[in-house]
Structure 1
Amino acid sequence: MGYILNIETATKNCSVALAKNGETILCREMAEQGFSHAEKLHLFIEEIIKSAGIIFSDLSAVAVSQGPGSYTGLRIGVSAAKGLCYALEIPLISVDTLTILANQLQIEKGIIIPMIDARRMEVYSAIFNAKKEMIREVQAEILTDSSFSDIEDAVYFVGDSNEKAKTILSKSNFNFVDTIFYPSAKEMSSISYKKFINNSFEDVAYFEPYYLKDFMLQTKSI
């Protein structure tokens, strides 16, 4: 088993991690208010490869965050991943972005709800149990005071929507984990390794990011 390069660009965090046998070896990431993925991503990839003392041909696969998230960020990450896979003739692996975000939190009991900001009171969200199993599929939804009100277990919210969610979600079983803000490539390592072992690969030529909803041209990126 060689190395897997993991790329996460679905949010403001431009993140690259190198893994071997499902363990993160190196990670390089930066989150900025203005998207700098186009400038930073390829630099981070080159730095990771050089720091690890390997060459690109040592990679066994490239994994990329598939979305949902920023249209621009996803396009940059997926384009880079596909380019590497095509040039190196290695498999492409996709990983759900909200799964990456949920994977950062460890709990013994309760529910994990990762949320990615989608402007105003809209979010991309999914629901996971304590074993990190997705029990409700990814949705684009508008938060209201009744959102997730049917859940009686302890709920842990993670992601960059927590600040606005706090203003409207007030049930006593709701907990906001403010230390987990963006998905990170270092949390992709175990997931992408399992997919590699199971030969769960994407078609490099036809794979597209999971935008979840139609992209609307606006003056400012998500």
Structure 2
Amino acid sequence: MTLILSLETSSSVCSVALHRDGQLVGQSELRLEKSHSSHLTVLIQQLLDNTSCTLQDLAAVAVSDGPGSYTGLRIGGAAAKGLCYALTIPLIAVSTLQALAYQVAAFTPRAEGLLFCPMLDARRMEVYSALYTHEGQEVLGPAPLILDSDTLTEQLAHHRLLFFGNGAAKFEPLLNTPNAGFLRGIEPSASAVGALAQQAFQRQEFRDVAYYEPFYLKEVHTTTPKVRT
């Protein structure tokens, strides 16, 4: 039996899930801004209690790898590393964009005729995005995109694209083509992370617990507060 705990903290949604041999056992989500640091461990313990599982039952911990919220990714990564180190179990990192595309493609009719384009808000007119087939094959790798009327014109000229994620709403008013479709209300979920983590577990694709860092995609810029005189 393979029991995998998955953590999704890349957005404002704090989400945890348990999969047993690839089947979803339980999931818990909290949609509160800036709640990850104070509620993630509570959600994990409640999920384990509600499914009659223990930390010692876990075969691996999976974490949403990014891109996304810098603070959220740091919290999820630290929690996953701590659990893996304490329990001596493998760490699995799953692309946030790929997991988001997976959860949409799995419930989309005639998905084989579409390309799936998750977009995560990166402020102003920028998003983190990638492009996938319905089977999860990468067409365009994760990258920061500046949105304008010329964005992805080549792909839209030859394919039907489905856009979703909290950054897609900024793109919709810029397009006027029947090849673009938009879904609202799609947020990253630990259940999709767990489904992809099972595949990674079978392939033995594990990350180094000591040196793992989330995939931020862009360097984080910090500023020093001005000293009042």
TM score, norm. by length of structure 1 = 0.94
Pick the aligned partner of 1:206 from 211, 221, 224: 211
Distance 2:31 2:176 in 1: 28
Q: Deviations over 1:90-139 (max 9, x none)?
A: 00000000011101123131110001000001000000012221111100
| 2:113 aligned counterpart, secondary structure | coil
C-alpha separation in 2, matches of 1:154 and 1:218: 42
Give the secondary-structure state (helix, strand or coil) at the position aligned to 1:47: helix
CA contact (8 A) 1:147 1:169 kept: no
Q: Distance in 2 between matches of 1:101 and 1:212?
A: 16
Cα distance between partner residues in 2 of 1:100 and 1:54:
25
Q: Distance in 2 between matches of 1:92 and 1:101?
A: 20
- Pairwise mapping of residues 1-222 of structure 1 onto structure 2 (< 5 A)? 1-32=1-32, 34-106=33-105, 107-151=111-155, 152-180=158-186, 182-217=187-222
Structure 1 unaligned regions, length at least 5 = none
What is the deviation of 1:172?
2.1
State the Cα distance separating 1:218 from its structure 2 match. Answer: 6.8
Structure whose CA Rg is larger: 2
In structure 2, the residue corresponding to 1:53 is in which secondary structure?
coil
**Amino acid aligned to 2:98:** T
TM-score normalised by L of structure 2: 0.91
Q: Which moved more, 1:3-12 or 1:103-112?
A: 103-112
What is the count of residue pairs matched by the alignment?
Answer: 217
Equivalent residue letter for 1:19 = H
Distance in 2 (CA, whole Å) between partners of 1:82 and 1:99 is 21
In the TM superposition, what whole-angstrom CA distance separates every residue of 1:18-62 from its partner, at most 9, and x where no partner exists?
001111110001223x22111111111001111111111000000
For structure 2, which runs of at least 5 residues remain unmatched after alignment? 106-110, 225-229
Q: Identity, % of aligned pairs?
A: 41
8 Å contact from structure 1 (residues 149, 171) kept in 2: no
Higher helix share: 2
For the aligned residues, what is the CA RMSD?
1.3
In structure 1, distance between residues paired with 2:31 and 2:151: 28
